[in-house]
Amino acid sequence: MTTHIPREAYSSEELARLYPKELELQLVQILLRHGERSPVSPRFQNAGLRPYWPYCKAATQLTGVIMATTDWSNWDQLKYRRRLETFGMDDGPVIASGPKGEFDAVCSLTTTLVEKGHDARAGSELSAIFLPAKGEFAEFTRQPGELTDKGRETTLALGQRLRNLYVDLLRFMPALISDSDMIYLRATPIPRALESVQQAFYGFYPPTSRTADFPTPTIITRTPADETLFPNDSNCRRFAHLSRAFAQRTADRWNDTDDMRYLSSLWSKWMPNNAAVAVDSHPRVSGIMDTVNSTDAHGPLTKLPTEFYDPRARQIIDKVSVEEWFSGYKESDEYRMLGIGALLGDITARMAGSVERNGSDGLLEIGGVDGHLGRGRGGEQDIKLALSGCHDTTLAAALTSLGAYDVEHWPPFTSHIAFELFRKKAVSPQPSAQPVQRSASDEQIKTRDNVTATTQGWWAALFGKAKTAATQDSAPAAVPKGIGRKPLTQLTPQQREELREYYVRIRFNDRVMQVPGCKPAGKHLDGDASFCTLEAFKSIVDQYTPKNWKQACAAPLEAPAFPAQVEPAGYE
């Protein structure tokens, strides 16, 4: 399946079963795959696939951040229309055009200046760009794998569906917001992921649901070298080694089979030098799948020959690609740790921070007026919703590492995972050090920031440590003491007690998923094993949360790539 087909709206009965009265929703963290895009590499142009697609109307509406005065006091935006230039027949410059001669709203499939990225096995690339420091919806350099109009449409619709669930039906999030500091927004450095999370946020909170003085939202990004929001084999040498080993095992297992011969009978005439199709051919099976899925999601002007959409062939490439890319997460703790453990550790730490209400639920990163970290600009002391724009490899890796992904289907475009944290209604949340002041203004917060060291400032009241204004300007915020990433086995009795009566549930594309390690008695909510106790969930994730990801990535390559015996996913 190429594009996710959303389920019909929940009935009242379904909603009551999904959200039992004895539980109260406290935190929702959503990983969303970007929307439909152009292929990540210009394959099969010999089969008639054009290198430029007419599906990017955003190219006529781009915006750049502009310094308006040389003293840095004034910033503005420059709206512009992008046109792509290429070589003409005489080697001179010409404007690239789509299948019907379109010059504007054109997406590129042509490789640009990039560095190899997270899914190099499939021939894709990660753009080496700097994201804008300001500008809510600024657009920057394009690349193969560009988010198309269809991708913007489906991610906008995802945000609208999430709003319907969490605002209209559950009343979990407010209908109108004056800032976004109860929402943790993050994206990978790849533009389609950033644009998709922007579209989803816009669908969740359109302008009509924001106040007139709504400040610029905060979106967290990392440099490619630090990115853990996808399995980062470009910047984790040991993980790249493991990935190649599991990919080679898949090639050895599948290349000499009737399934591969069937694919060759259909597609060899389009392969370079009429080569046989193989897991590790050029292009690889997973690369062929990428182009098939991308073209299938769009219009008739950019389709491959019909044999590429043969149902049996698509079932084969789906099954084989899922094994090539994700079997390591089923079998190896090290694979899980290096590939997705840091992200799942972050997600779980934010759950613990939500329980403790100490700012480590993401508030410290999102909150604070310009130049400062801390509480929300409207006085928020808790994150309630997280939206992270990521990739297919993120979603499948996360689910597989939890033992919750046992299907042979690649995650469709605009798929999402919702990690929902609940508490029993009889349980009182941990008291914060100061009551929430929802009406606090930026000026009020600045005043608190300037309190001297001899006075108990707002930071100390909220997080237990006084700081002078000078210290806040010159040093990073202190990480709140608490549970964080500390393994369950190292928690004090009091800390373990704080986690009791909290539950975690996972939904993938609105389908409830089951973590096998949560099935035993005492590991889940009585009567429903899909509600994993937070203790059990954390204990499972602890098994592969890295203590130092970069250090683990530098482990010797000579060590065996495969564990001595299979280490099943989803258990403590």
* More confident site: 89 or 448: 89
Question: How many residues are there in the chain?
Answer: 572
Can you tell me the distance from the alpha carbon of 112 to that of 251, in angstroms, rounded to the nearest whole number? 29
Q: What is the pLDDT of residue 429?
A: 61
Q: What mean pLDDT comes out for the span 341-347? A: 98
43 near 22, Cβ under 8 Å? no
Can you tell me the distance from the alpha carbon of 316 to that of 322, in angstroms, rounded to the nearest whole number? 10
Question: Vertex 215, ends 63 and 59: CA angle to 5°?
Answer: 15
Q: What is the pLDDT of residue 2?
A: 87
pLDDT band, very low/low/confident/very high, at 407 (cuts 50, 70, 90): confident
Q: Which residues are CB-contacts of 302 (< 8 A; sequence separation ≥ 6)? A: 49, 50, 53, 55, 99, 295
Q: What mean pLDDT comes out for the span 165-173? A: 98
Q: What is the pLDDT of residue 456?
A: 33
Helix (H) or strand (E) holding 507: strand 502-508
* More confident site: 2 or 385: 385
Q: What is the pLDDT of residue 51?
A: 87
Can you tell me the distance from the alpha carbon of 306 to that of 266, in angstroms, rounded to the nearest whole number? 10
Residue 263: how many CA atoms within 13 Å on its side-chain side?
27
Summarised one tens digit per residue, pLDDT across range 471-507 is 333 344 455 578 999 999 999 999 999 999 999 999 9
Architecture per CATH, domain 23-49+112-228+327-463+480-572, reads as: 3-Layer(aba) Sandwich (3.40)
Q: Which residues are CB-contacts of 413 (< 8 A; sequence separation ≥ 6)? A: 2, 3, 4, 33, 34, 35, 36, 37, 151, 154, 293, 297
pLDDT band, very low/low/confident/very high, at 384 (cuts 50, 70, 90): very high
Q: Minimum mean pLDDT among 77-81, 242-246, 512-516: which range? A: 77-81
Does residue 105 come out as left (phi exceeding 0), alpha (psi in the -120 to 50 range) or beta? left
User: Is pLDDT of 466 > 70?
Assistant: no
Q: What is the pLDDT of residue 328?
A: 98
User: Is pLDDT of 520 > 90?
Assistant: yes
pLDDT band, very low/low/confident/very high, at 372 (cuts 50, 70, 90): confident
- Mean pLDDT is highest, among 1-5, 99-103, 130-134, 474-478, for 99-103
- Average pLDDT for the chain: 86
Q: How far is CA 53 from the centre of its chain?
A: 26
Q: What is the pLDDT of residue 375?
A: 85
Q: What is the pLDDT of residue 431?
A: 57
pLDDT band, very low/low/confident/very high, at 428 (cuts 50, 70, 90): low
Give the three-state DSSP class for 262.
helix
- Mean pLDDT is highest, among 125-129, 266-270, 379-383, for 266-270
Does residue 524 come out as left (phi exceeding 0), alpha (psi in the -120 to 50 range) or beta? beta
Summarised one tens digit per residue, pLDDT across range 71-120 is 999 999 999 999 999 999 999 999 999 888 898 999 876 544 333 333 34
Domain boundaries, the chain: 23-49+112-228+327-463+480-572, 237-326
Q: What percent of the chain has pLDDT over 70?
A: 84
Q: What mean pLDDT comes out for the span 170-193? A: 97
User: Is pLDDT of 330 > 60?
Assistant: yes
Q: Minimum mean pLDDT among 58-62, 290-294, 308-312, 457-461: which range? A: 457-461
Q: What mean pLDDT comes out for the span 260-266? A: 99
Summarised one tens digit per residue, pLDDT across range 37-73 is 999 888 999 999 988 999 999 999 999 999 999 999 9
Q: What is the pLDDT of residue 143?
A: 53
